[in-house]
């Protein structure tokens, strides 16, 4: 029997690689919109939580493809910035921010003079699995750490270069295999994996 198909509600190359690395042997054929031959309209991430945003994106992808769909929403929460950027991480700083580098630089500027003990932060991710008809499952992953004084490492994407793990390395200094095991998204996806395997067997 062929594997059931699972639509990803993202074309982000970094996320696609992580998802396929963690879930690729869970018994599903994981497809990007491009591989399936569709273009997903952008979904406004106006929800008040990662969960709302992830579900909205997965619902839209399931409706467009007719397949079960997987989406995530994630962000960095900096305690000295009252939990910002949080759910606005991808849009932090507004339209003047051109890319991840600009958003990282903005956080570092806003933390100038803040000592390392007070630079506590966490990465949080929620993944949502939605079936046509809007049967919804969610899982969450959280990783605690600190904001670095300057970017470190050349791997990863987003806020990885400025997020320090307890061992002093930034997430951008992890190998892809390490990141898959211990990142916030990796933890959430690993928590979802048994459910996908169970649903595959039904």
pLDDT reported for residue 157: 87
Q: Is there a catalytic annotation at residue 180?
A: no
For residues 54 and 71, the answer to whether their CB atoms sit within 8 Å is yes
Strands 135-147 and 5-8: unpaired
Residue 9: pLDDT band (50, 70, 90) is very high
Question: What are the tens digits of pLDDT across the range 125-181?
Answer: 999 999 988 899 999 999 999 999 999 999 988 999 999 999 999 999 999 899 988
pLDDT reported for residue 131: 93
Burial pattern 12-32, b for ≥16 Cβ within 10 A else e, equals: eebbbebbebbbeebbbebbb
Q: For residues 47 and 28, which has the higher predicted lDDT (pLDDT)?
A: 28
pLDDT reported for residue 201: 73
pLDDT reported for residue 64: 93
d(CA 197, CA 202): 9
Q: What is the mean pLDDT of residues 62-66?
A: 94
Question: What are the tens digits of pLDDT across the range 88-122?
Answer: 998 999 989 989 999 999 999 999 999 999 999 99
Which sign does the torsion angle of CA 52, 55, 59, 65 carry?
positive
Q: Residues 9, 11, 13, CA angle at the centre, nearest 5°?
A: 130
β-sheet bridge partners, residue 164: 146, 170
- Kindly state the tokens that stand for 84: 């910002």
* Average per-residue pLDDT for the chain: 93
Residue 45 three-state SS: coil
Does 188 score more than 90 pLDDT? yes
For residues 190 and 142, the answer to whether their CB atoms sit within 8 Å is no
Q: Which CATH architecture has domain 5-201?
A: Alpha-Beta Complex (3.90)
Among candidate residues 73, 99, 160, 167, the one labeled active-site is 73
Does 1 score more than 80 pLDDT? no
For residues 189 and 16, the answer to whether their CB atoms sit within 8 Å is no
Q: pTM of the entire structure?
A: 0.91
């Amino acid at each position: 029997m062929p594997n059931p198909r699972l639509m990803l509600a993202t074309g982000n190359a970094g996320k696609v690689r992580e998802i396929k690395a963690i879930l690729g042997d869970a018994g599903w054929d994981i497809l990007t919109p491009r591989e399936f031959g569709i273009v997903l309209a952008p979904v406004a991430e106006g929800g008040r939580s990662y969960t709302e945003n992830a579900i909205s994106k997965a619902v839209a992808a399931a409706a467009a493809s007719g397949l079960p769909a997987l989406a995530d929403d994630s962000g960095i929460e900096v305690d000295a910035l009252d939990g910002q950027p949080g759910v606005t991480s991808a849009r932090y700083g507004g339209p003047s921010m051109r890319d991840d580098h600009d958003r990282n630089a903005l956080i570092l500027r806003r933390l100038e003079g803040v000592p390392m003990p007070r630079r506590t932060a966490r990465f949080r991710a929620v993944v949502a699995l939605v079936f046509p008809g809007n049967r919804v499952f969610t899982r969450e992953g959280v990783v605690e750490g600190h904001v670095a004084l300057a970017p470190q490492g050349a791997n990863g994407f987003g806020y990885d270069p400025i997020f320090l793990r307890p061992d002093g390395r930034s997430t951008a200094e992890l190998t892809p295999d390490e990141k898959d095991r211990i990142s916030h998204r990796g933890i959430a996806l690993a928590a979802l994996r048994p459910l996908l395997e169970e649903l595959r067997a039904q």
